[in-house]
Amino acid sequence: MADILLQIGQVLTVLLLAPLLQGFIHRYEERLQRATGPSLLQPYRDLFKLFGKQIVVPESASWVFWIAPVVAFTAMLIVPLLIPVLTDFPLPLSDMGDILGGGLILTLGSFFIHLGAMDSGSSYGGMGVSRSVLIGILAEPILILVFVGITLMAGSMLPFVVNHLLVRQPEVYWSPTHLFLVVAFFILLLVETDRLPIHSSTHIEVYMIEEARVLEYSGPLLGLLRWASMMKQFILYTIFCNVFILPWGLSHLGSFPGVIGSLLATVIKFGLVAVLVIVVETAQARLRFYRYQEPLAAAFVFALLAMIANQVR
């Protein structure tokens, strides 16, 4: 029974804290640029407003337009069952899939958002999908290489095994293989969470990617998509922190004090990574869309170096 409650707690952690992470990034990104910035709770207010508004659906839209936000949101609720969010040991449903399975579920959510955008019949939706797919074509092979590198390093694609290996063996943590994988995944984190200085979640047409895909959505449907996007960001931060770079601070026994400590550790770890992301994003000059492949090419090189370093150690 306790494990089931912990499993539910992991899902609720992602569900409820994802907007807070988004609010932290938006606020301190503006602060770094010497602006006031929105409140940390602004994403919660935005979601509350969206769920209270009317739904407007394009005349050409079919049932795909309706179910796409539901599938995307549901997919983000499934992934926390597979990864270490609060505990460093598997919970009852954690054996449904490994880290690659979690990546496939995240991709499933994005796939249905693509379908919904195209089903709207909007030219902006098609433009956003085409750009998003182009970036995905460049990013997915790198993600696969990173997962292969993890498998070669730890002998397993289960995130809990990787976590235990890095905690118990400092020589593996500081090995070139692991450090190269951290850099490669960090670049993927920037790309997948829209933190590279392209600002795709904007209404400026030349930069529109994420915003173009959801432009025809409104009301609760748009609220589900916004919330799913925040949860995806939280999930990627969880994988990066608890599996790659800061695997400490998770509950060993699943006790109440341990879970509270794990939540506090999560807040601290995510805050540190978010500050790093904000600094990297702000320090870079704005990239043009056709130069998006440059950081992804760097990530590919680091992932490849990780595999080579693992073979020669």
Over the stretch 158-207, which tens digit does the pLDDT of each residue have?
A: 888 899 999 999 999 999 999 999 999 998 998 888 776 555 555 666 56
Taking each helix axis from N to C end, the angle separating 256-283 and 2-32, rounded to the nearest 10 degrees, works out to: 30
Count the Cβ atoms, other than its own, within 10 Å of residue 288: 10
Average pLDDT, the chain: 87
How does residue 35 score in pLDDT terms, banded at 50, 70 and 90? confident
Report the C-alpha gap between 219 and 150 in whole angstroms.
41
Return the higher-pLDDT residue of 246 and 312. 246
Rounded distance between C-alpha atoms, residue 113 and residue 119, angstroms: 10
pLDDT at 293: 75
For tokens 């063996």, the residue is: 169
**Residue 313: what pLDDT?**
62
R_g of the chain computed on alpha carbons: 19
Q: How far apart are the C-alpha atoms of 168 and 103, rounded to whole Å?
A: 26
What's the half-sphere exposure (Cβ side, CA atoms, 13 Å) at 309? 19
Place of tokens 């089903």: 119
Q: Which of 3-12, 133-142, 256-265 has the lowest mean pLDDT?
A: 133-142
* Number of domains into which the chain is organized: 1
Task: Give the global pTM.
Answer: 0.92
Compute the average pLDDT of residues 121-142. 84
Strand positions, DSSP E, the chain: none
SS3 state at 196:
coil
- Residue range(s) defining the domain that contains residue 95: 2-312
DSSP string covering 60-107, please?
Answer: T--HHHHHHHHHHHHHHHHGGGTS-SSBSS--TTGGG--HHHHHHHHH
The SS3 assignment for 85 reads coil
**From CA 70, how far away is CA 51, in angstroms rounded?**
14
The listed range with the strongest mean pLDDT (124-133, 134-143, 165-174, 278-287) is 165-174
The rounded percent of the chain whose pLDDT value lies above 90 is 44
**Helix H or strand E segment including 272:** helix 256-283
pLDDT band at 70 (very low <50, low <70, confident <90, very high): very high
The answer to whether the CB of 234 falls within 8 A of the CB of 14 is: yes
